[in-house]
Structure 1
Amino acid sequence: MVIGSFPVGKVLMFSLKRISKPVGDVLMWMGKHNPFIRQYVIMPPAQLYNTFEVRSKMRMLRLKQPKRIPPLSPAIATSLGANMLSEAIVFGIGIGLIYYELSKTYKKNQKKILEIENQEKVLDELLDRISVDVERQQQDINWISAVLKG
């Protein structure tokens, strides 16, 4: 794995895993003490994950798909759901931080591009003025040459 060669990457991955543990513990506590949260927030993702996992394993083993997959016990579903949701929260925070950094960089680049365009515009205007001056001076030189010859 590439991240293993970078110590900073290892520290970052370890810290993300450590952050998700307290979040999972809070979700587990809420699941044990609040039946509404357990029933409608924590257990459904775990049951859905169980269904997908069983079906995918059966498919990989090339076995017949079961018509009905037995649900997980409430304790196992609560534990699995709390862990999944804590990982999802940490993942969401990570994605949010990445999005924030990318948008900040994008705005910074847009600002640089706008400054460069403004500098080009100023330089083009300056070049136009110099061109007009050169043409006027050439006309003056031609007029002076004509006066001196004639």
Structure 2
Amino acid sequence: MVAAFPVAKLAYLGIRQLSKPLANFIRDRARASPFFKKYVCMPPAQLHHWYETRLKMRELGLKSKSVAKLSDIDAVDTGATILGETIIYIVSALTIFAEYRRQANKEQAKEELASDKMTDLEKSVQDLKQLVTEQRDQCEQLQLLLKSGKK
């Protein structure tokens, strides 16, 4: 039996190959656009830095009241990387979901076809039973006619 071509795996590899250029494009776009830098890249990067620093300090048993913010350049780079990876993750998840739906639809169509075949077979059996019953009745009538004709 021939195995199906792994379209989802191929798509995932293609997406992974595009991840680095996409992250670089986003990083370059963030450096060029003040709006993109300020409102799209920097907030998630600062949040990530704050959360990561707090988590590391907690693991080391240190307590700190505040965490220093990342520099703008580091925040843009980190934010662009986070955004790029998020886009890659979303596209990958959509690819997997689409493949799942395609397989589910294919399986449902196969089940419907099997159900239709079963219904047709049941109808054929019922038709044959009815035909057999009719022929039996006809045979009985013919036998009665033959018996009455012999007397």
Normalising by structure 2, report the TM-score: 0.78
Per mean C-alpha deviation after superposition, the further-off stretch among 13-22 and 90-99 is: 13-22
Tell me if 1:37 matches 2:19: no
Runs (5+) with no aligned partner, structure 2: 1-9
- Residue-pair matches, total: 139
- Look up the equivalent residue of 2:111 and give its one-letter code: I
Residue 110 (structure 1) aligned to one of 89, 108, 111: 108
Q: Whole-Å Cα distance in 1 between the matches of residues 84 and 73 of structure 2?
A: 17
Matching residue of 2:7: none
Shift in Å, 1:15? 5.6
Matching residue of 2:22: 23
Runs (5+) with no aligned partner, structure 1: 1-10
Shift in Å, 1:41? 0.3
Residues 14-35 of structure 1 deviation map (CA, whole Å, 9 limit, x = unaligned): 7654421211111111111111
User: SS at 2:68's partner residue?
Assistant: coil
Structure with higher RCO (Cα < 8 A, 6+ apart): 2
Matching residue of 1:53: 52
Q: Whole-Å Cα distance in 1 between the matches of residues 28 and 42 of structure 2?
A: 13
Tell me if 1:98 matches 2:96: yes
Q: Whole-Å Cα distance in 2 between the matches of residues 101 and 31 of structure 1?
A: 33
Residue 80 (structure 1) aligned to one of 66, 78, 81: 78
Matching residue of 1:3: none
Task: Answer whether contact 2:11 2:95 (CA < 8 A) is retained.
Answer: no
Normalising by structure 1, report the TM-score: 0.78
Residues 2-53 of structure 1 deviation map (CA, whole Å, 9 limit, x = unaligned): xxxxxxxxx9887654421211111111111111110100111111111221
Q: Alpha carbon RMSD of aligned pairs, Å?
A: 2.4
